[in-house]
Amino acid sequence: MTNMTNRTAFVTGASRGIGRACAQALGEAGARVVLAARDTAKLEEAAMQIPGATCVSIDLASPESIKEAFAKAGKIDILVNNAGITKDGLAMRMKKEDWEAVLRTNLTGAHFCIQQALPTMMKARAGRIINISSVVAQSGNAGQANYVAAKAGLIGLTKAIAIEIASRGVTVNAVAPGFIETPMTDVLPDKVKEELKTRIPLGRMGSPRDVAVAIVFLASDEAGYITGQVLSVNGGMHLA
């Protein structure tokens, strides 16, 4: 795998779960990692485990917060849009504020992060953008119309921007994790988790590390001829 020394990676939602594992893996590959999330206490704890890492507070629902975070981070070579929230509910009863909150953070926030990272990437004629989507963006999921719409939107955003900036040497790809053992899935009842495993051909939920290594690959020089693609990390749960 490429040595990422002298490259800076900015990872949103890096205080826990997939984001934290991704930041750790990028750090192991030699990148200087900037961890970004709202929970500064957990960010600082995570950053302590990664040599040379720094952390910045960011609220993906606020364009002003995004601008401030990127200004503090400086030049970015790798952007991982991982941060996301859920506010589940049946579509017919979903509150307007729950719909808007999930779209604002999971999709619009990622777009604004890309806008902040692009100028220096395009000037350098190099860069990697990786958006974290989800298996439910490909398969759908009852009770998550807002989350599914946002994650499917990320796939469309990935493809559109990949085409826009390909001539500048910047690649844009997405990773679509399946059901991964994170704080977001920890709240599921054991019965639900066991039922989920029956739908996964590999017979287990994934680990954050499973997703992190896929992200590191897409951020590497070896993935330089891959853009506008969705890499599924789902144990065979959904075969597109």
Give the integer Cα–Cα distance in Å for 61 and 109.
6
147 part of the active site: yes
Q: From the candidates 112, 147, 179, 217, give the one annotated as an active-site residue.
A: 147
* Sequence-ordered strand ranges (E) for the chain: 8-12, 32-37, 54-57, 78-81, 127-132, 170-177, 230-233
The tokens for 56 are 């910045």
Give the integer Cα–Cα distance in Å for 218 and 101.
29
Q: Is-contact 132 12, C-beta < 8 A? A: no
The tokens for 127 are 């860069």
Give the integer Cα–Cα distance in Å for 148 and 135.
9
Q: Is-contact 19 11, C-beta < 8 A? A: yes
The CA–CA distances, whole Å, from 210 to 108, 158, 206 equal: 26, 21, 6
Which residues are identified as catalytic?
Answer: 147
